[in-house]
Every structure is written in structure tokens, then in C-alpha cells.
Amino acid sequence: MKEKILEKATDMFLNLGFKSVTMDDLANEMGISKKTIYSHFKNKTHLIEESTTQLFCTVSEGIDHICSLGKNPIEELYSIKKFALMHLKDEKSSPQYQLQKYYPKIHESIKEQQYEKMQECVVVNIKRGIELEIYRENLNIDFVSRIYFSGVTSIKDQRLFPISKFPIATLMDEYLEYHLRGIVTPKGRKILNTIINSNHE
């Protein structure tokens, strides 16, 4: 039962937002009593902690799987972006923003884990790109990986990028292209243009 509650809660949080969903909403949606939920989770904050941790693990495992496929580094970043969007439901309800505003401790904890995961993944991606001569060889890898993470985090800030003006899927596409155009070689640019053109078809 705990797994079912967690699964349904995560789905509702992502679709409606962490603040918007109440324990009553969750109980009604599942056709169970609040008492049943509280027998597994001591309060809503505890439920959100478990939910965000599980979601982070699911996304991390998916990213690890994509990285193990040996795709070229540019294609790899597009696959990761597509996978993350699919799991985060396009973030229509801006759950990230609600998490940051109403549950800042949980948000900070997840952000630290995301940073470690992305650093490791992006550094390997950049090194492989340089070896394959599709990224410039004079890149400061540490700087590029950190600025990339900083950008990915910033575009989720609705004060900077309101969803009414910048739909999340378009924003992620534009940010990824912006990042890659700054680091690719002419050889890499050809691969990038091919991927962008095929995405527009």
C-alpha cells in the first residue's frame, strides 16, 4: 500500500503542484482514508520527502541507462532531456517552484543531489565529446559543467522564465542548443544541426 500511495502522490504532485495537493485530495483520489496514509507517512512533508527522493532515483537510473548506451555525446544530452521531460510531466504545474517556495529544505537537499549527479554525468559527456573532436579541445571542463548545471537550474525559476511566456519543453530545447553551440567544433555542429532539424520535422 505504501508504494501505491507514493506512486499516486508523486503523480498528483507533478501534475498539480506540491502545495496544491492536500492529504484529503490524495485520500479521495485513492478511495482510502487519511488514516491509512498517515499509517505510512507521518505527515505531508514526510510524504513529499519520500516522493522527491523516489523521483530523483528513478530519473538518475534512467540517466545512467542512457549514458551506458554509448551514444555520441550530443545525442546523449538530447536523450536525457527527453527522458527528464517525460518523467517530470512537462512541469505544467511548476512543482519545482512550489517545492522551492513552500518546502525549501527538501528543495535544497534534492538540488544538492541533482548537482552531484549532473556534474558526474556532464563531465564525462564533455570529456567524451572532446575525445571524439565534436567539442572544442580548449574547454575548461569544470567551468562548462558548472555553468550548464547553473543554467538548467535557472530556467526552472518562474520569476525569470514565466511558463506563460516560456513553455518548459521549448525552454529546455533552446537552452540545450545554446549550451551546445558554445562548445561544439564544426564537426559537432553538423551533428547538432541534424538532430535539431530531425526534431523539427
What would the pLDDT profile of 143-160 be if each residue is shown by its tens digit?
999 999 999 888 888 889
Estimate to the nearest angstrom the gap between the alpha carbon of 66 and the chain centroid: 14
Q: Is residue 116 part of a domain?
A: yes
What domain range includes position 62? 45-200
Write down the pTM of the prediction: 0.86
Does some domain include residue 152?
yes
CA dist 65 → 58, 62, 81, 150 (Å): 11, 5, 13, 24
Q: What b/e readout covers 12-24, taking b as 16+ CB neighbours within 10 angstroms?
A: bbbeebbbebeee
Task: Give the tens place of pLDDT for each residue, 57-107.
Answer: 998 999 999 999 999 999 999 999 999 888 776 555 567 778 888 999 999
Residue 25: its pLDDT value, please? 97
Q: How many domains does the chain have?
A: 1
Three-class DSSP category at 69: coil
What is the model's pLDDT at position 32?
97
In a domain, 96, yes or no: yes
| pLDDT confidence tier of residue 24, bands split at 50, 70 and 90 | very high
CB 173 within 8 A of CB 111: no
- CATH number reported for the structural domain that contains residue 163 in this entry: 1.10.357.10
- Within a domain: 32: no
In a domain, 110, yes or no: yes
d(CA 162, CA 71): 33
- Confidence band for 196, pLDDT divided at 50, 70 and 90: very high
Residue 159: inside a domain, yes or no?
Answer: yes
Arithmetic mean of pLDDT over the chain: 91
